[in-house]
Amino acid sequence: MVRAIEWIDDRVRILDQSRLPHEVSYIDCSHHGMVVDAIKTLKIRGAPAIGIAAAMGIALSARGLKADSFEGFMDALQPVMDEMLSSRPTAVNIRWAVERMKGLLQRNRERPVEELKGLLIEEAKAVLEEDIEVNKAIGLWGAQFIRDGDTVLTHCNAGALATGGYGTATAPILMAVEQGKEVRVIADETRPVLQGARLTAWELMQAGVPVTLITDNSAGALMRSGEIDLCIVGTDRTARNGDVANKIGTYSVAVLARENDVPFYVAAPLSSIDFTIPSGELIPIEERPPEEVTHLGGHPVAPEGVMVINRAFDVTPARYVTAIITERGAFRPRDIKRLARKGVNLTELRVKP
């Protein structure tokens, strides 16, 4: 399986996704500035993956810091954390990673500085390992819904490349394959940025999973002709009521799936469920530059000056979602809000295949 990021020999090795699928090259970051640059220039992307990168970047910078006291150490580390935060200002996972590293240090403030440096490295590695564990759990819960011989449609890239490993939407597929099931994947190319063509198709080919690329326009016709058995997509943010914000076009896939009685699953780590937001209507939708639509590889494909609407995400209402697959099980969207409470009987709540 492809690894987007690893800690190897006191360096942070990042797979340069901006060159995929044409060139597989790695950046061995010896300085946190290289990690910041990789995040900024989208060499590494995907919410979990950039969270891991931020944690590793902080650990990397700490190694070289000279400080006599906890306060001096924190003062020296603060600009690094600020740099991480500003690399992708809206990334929730970077903020989360920075807070986690800070919390670790505060809890261990009595220890010598040299020991703290080691703790940061261990914590950064743990962030990666925990992400992989979460995805494997999503994979196991999700694999139940994939039968031997099934064809799975996915949209955009919620794959290993977006995470520490296994991906979210791809984890059930990889787990089903590990269980010996024969699984084929249909990957939407996912305009405008073509993450499906460039990343999902590539990483599944690397993993030896048979994958067929289609234009986003083709998904509906393939569902109607019975060529797709189920859909699994990722999510950027899921609201308390089970409404799912994800890459533009996800809503269309969901509607077409329901129209054709094709189950539609969302792979969502609990960290991506925002229990503070009551409904998907309240999730702000980012408008991206028109050039993503009007230009391809730097070349114009549309008339100069044409107006463009280019929203990054759409919201799929909960009623189109068969189940939301988390690391604690698969649940009906309307039951997601109950996961925030204590003492819930998860076994009863789980959706069975």
Active-site positions read: 236
Among 88, 198, 237, 240, binds a copy of itself (CB under 8 A): 198
By CB under 8 A, tell whether 289 contacts a copy of itself: no
Q: Which is nearer to a copy of itself, 223 or 273 (CB)?
A: 223
In 3D space, the residue among 57, 51, 125 whose CA is nearest the CA of residue 88 turns out to be 51
State how far the Cα of 256 lies from the Cα of 270, in Å rounded to an integer. Answer: 26
Among 252, 271, 277, 291, binds a copy of itself (CB under 8 A): 252
Q: At what angle do helices 32-40 and 47-63 cross, to 10 degrees?
A: 160
- Binding string, 310-339, against a copy of itself, x = CB under 8 A? xx--xx------------------------
By CB under 8 A, tell whether 42 contacts a copy of itself: no
By CB under 8 A, tell whether 303 contacts a copy of itself: yes
State how far the Cα of 12 lies from the Cα of 5, in Å rounded to an integer. Answer: 7
How are beta strands 295-296 and 230-233 bridged, if at all? unpaired
Which stretch in 95-103, 119-127, 248-256, 338-346 sits in contact with a copy of itself by CB under 8 A? Answer: 248-256
State how far the Cα of 142 lies from the Cα of 348, in Å rounded to an integer. Answer: 17
> Distance of alpha carbon 89 from its chain centroid, rounded?
17
For residues 242 and 342, the answer to whether their CB atoms sit within 8 Å is no
Which stretch in 61-69, 70-78, 137-145, 197-205 sits in contact with a copy of itself by CB under 8 A? Answer: 197-205
Whole-angstrom distance between the N-terminal and C-terminal Cα of the chain?
27
Residue type, 316: T
By CB under 8 A, tell whether 261 contacts a copy of itself: no
By CB under 8 A, tell whether 100 contacts a copy of itself: no
The answer for residues whose C-beta is within 8 angstroms of residue 299's C-beta and 6 or more apart is none
In 3D space, the residue among 48, 46, 58, 51 whose CA is nearest the CA of residue 83 turns out to be 58
State how far the Cα of 18 lies from the Cα of 53, in Å rounded to an integer. Answer: 16
Among 7, 145, 166, 251, binds a copy of itself (CB under 8 A): 251
Q: Which is nearer to a copy of itself, 123 or 243 (CB)?
A: 243
Residues near a copy of itself (CB under 8 A), total: 54
By CB under 8 A, tell whether 217 contacts a copy of itself: yes
Least Å distance, CB 290 to a copy of itself, is 8
Residues lying near a copy of itself in the complex (CB under 8 A):
21-22, 186, 189-192, 194, 197-198, 201-202, 205, 210-222, 224, 247-249, 251-252, 255-256, 259, 293-294, 296-297, 299-311, 314-315
